[in-house]
Amino acid sequence: MDFNLADLFEAVVDAVPDREALVCGERRLSFAAFDARANRLAHVLAEQGIGAGDHVALYLYNGSEYLEGMVAAFKLRAVPVNVNYRYVEEELRYLLDDSDARAVVFHQTFAPKLVAVRDQLPELTTFLAVGDDSGSDPGRLDALDYEAALRHADPGRDFEPRSADDLYILYTGGTTGMPKGVLWRHEDIFFGAFGGGGVGNPISTPEAIADRAAAGTTRCLPACPFMHGTAHWMAFLTLYTGGGVVVSPERSLVARHVWELAAAEHVNFLVIVGDAMGRPLVAALDELGPDVDVGGVAILLSGGAILSPPVKRALTERLPGTLVIDGFGSSEAGGQGQMIVAAEGDISAQPRFQVDDETTVLTPDLESAPVGVVGKLAKRGHVPIGYYHDPVKSTETFPVIDGVRWSVPGDDARREEDGTITVLGRGSVSINTGGEKVYPEEVEGALKAHPDVFDAVVVGVPDPRWGERVVAVIEPRDGRTPTLDALAGTARHQLAGFKVPRQVVLVDRVERSPSGKPDYRWAKRVAEAAS
């Protein structure tokens, strides 16, 4: 057996067939039942001509169908493609075209958008509709009904041999530019982002996955969308260690429901993305009745966006038995480091991470950067092989140095004396003011410490004197009106003077992506319009 995602999943199924693998609403699936549904879906896709190397788009809200779709594709040696369900028609058309999708599994509510772009996508010929209460008609797509198709399909395994070199793609939009498909080998994504059979203690042979699964006790609730890496990475990390994944059937964050679901399903691992989820979850904790016991949540992980110090403090105060962890990584590098806070522990104002042995900081000449010198965060080992359809960008982001491939996505960082790495942020959104470089994430963290600030995004706008000036786009707390002087006073306790905002723009709501990442393009437009 290779380190192939389908082979490894089937080994877990065979080790713990009767253990609960997935809960979503009223649907409860054992590992054996999950595997049978994935087998059925794989056979449905195969009957439509989908096979090794073909791309299957998943245009879905969270649900069992999302993970079934991924596993079914892996079984066929096909490649699942994540689709952002927030995309407008042109963005959707671009992604489905760029990814060469041949099939799409979609929630029925998205049928009108697919109808609008179908004629521009001649390679996309297979449509499977997951029923919902939207009333949208998928008939114009000649779509198969998902559940009906599965009922009539073969639940058995009769698939061709697979390889550790089979492919996984994660489309990432980042903070700027059109989405790009990051290409990983199965073996590399398994160790680089799916846990490797045990975080910090990966398996050394594929066969060892069975023993890890037999000992599994994790109950994971990914409260963020599967269409982004954080959620499905942590879901598969859980499944590959024999744990159960709890999925909320809600299509947006309902904070109180998350806690009630965590309590009811005995969740011990909750996954969120940054303050966009952290803040409402903190507020909801204060509204829970005594019968909702969330003390079993041993780990709360934020991936994809860093929690601000006030939110971390609030979580540890209300959940004293919970470790609050900022996990650092990217679509192009997988998991790279952690920043852990426990009750009454110190909370750093800077994003400073304990990193793995394969992560370091490189100079512009791709040499190891000395301690204290700002360079580019880099990782070697289990990293992607490139971007789909973009060899030039692949060479830039995944350079080969002395025969070793590195991932250098663009985060500026600095090694510290104690071995940690301070991550300063993407150079692509940094601000140059008077010749000094300012990283938005650093300023945003300082501003969020002010009690009148609910959310903040920091950008640079043209300035005749400084080149760019620092502008804070602020979503105030209800009934509050933070002033520039007040916010600057707070920021100066943590930041050098050139980093302090020179202008504040108040908005009703800070725009973020569904993954919680700031929309810097939107913020820049808002800031420039107010200047």
For 12-42, the pLDDT digits (tens) are: 999 999 999 999 999 999 999 999 999 999 9
Any domain includes 457: yes
pLDDT category, 176, cuts 50, 70, 90? very low
pLDDT at 286 over 70: yes
Is residue 71 located within the same domain as residue 151?
Answer: yes
pLDDT at 417 over 50: yes
Is residue 458 located within the same domain as residue 493?
Answer: yes
Q: What is the pLDDT of residues 472-505, one digit of tens each?
A: 999 999 999 999 999 999 898 888 888 999 999 9
Is residue 115 located within the same domain as residue 65?
Answer: yes
Is residue 418 located within the same domain as residue 523?
Answer: no
Q: Please report the pLDDT score of residue 282 as a whole number.
A: 95
Report, as an integer, the average pLDDT of 180-194.
Answer: 97
CATH label of the domain that carries residue 115 = 3.40.50.12780
Helices (H), 405-465: 440-447
Question: Which of 159, 185, 211 is where one domain is finished?
Answer: 185
CATH label of the domain that carries residue 519 = 3.30.300.30
Q: What is the pLDDT of residues 100-155, one digit of tens each?
A: 999 999 999 999 999 999 999 999 999 999 999 999 999 899 999 999 999 999 99
Is residue 68 located within the same domain as residue 84?
Answer: yes
Helix (H) or strand (E) holding 486: helix 484-491
Question: Which of 141, 170, 185 is where one domain is finished?
Answer: 185
Is residue 175 located within the same domain as residue 32?
Answer: yes
Report, as an integer, the average pLDDT of 344-355.
Answer: 84
Alpha carbon distance, N-terminus to C-terminus of the chain: 61
pLDDT at 514 over 70: no
Residue 5: Cβ-neighbour burial (10 angstroms; 0-12, 13-18, 19+): buried
Helices (H), 218-344: 229-239, 255-264, 274-285, 309-318
Domain hosting residue 97, numbered range: 28-185
Any domain includes 307: no
Is residue 34 located within the same domain as residue 181?
Answer: yes
CATH label of the domain that carries residue 374 = 2.30.38.10
pLDDT category, 177, cuts 50, 70, 90? low
Domains identified in the chain, total number: 3
Computed from CA positions of residues 448, 454, 460, 462, in that sequence, does the dihedral angle turn out positive or negative?
negative
Any domain includes 156: yes
Any domain includes 218: no
Q: Are 15 and 214 in contact (CB under 8 A)?
A: yes
Average per-residue pLDDT for the chain:
93
Is residue 399 located within the same domain as residue 506?
Answer: no
Q: Please report the pLDDT score of residue 175 as a whole number.
A: 45
Give the C-alpha separation, 339 to 441, whole Å.
15
Is residue 67 located within the same domain as residue 165?
Answer: yes
Is residue 141 located within the same domain as residue 74?
Answer: yes
Report, as an integer, the average pLDDT of 38-51.
Answer: 98
Question: Which of 151, 185, 219 is where one domain is finished?
Answer: 185
pTM for the whole structure:
0.88
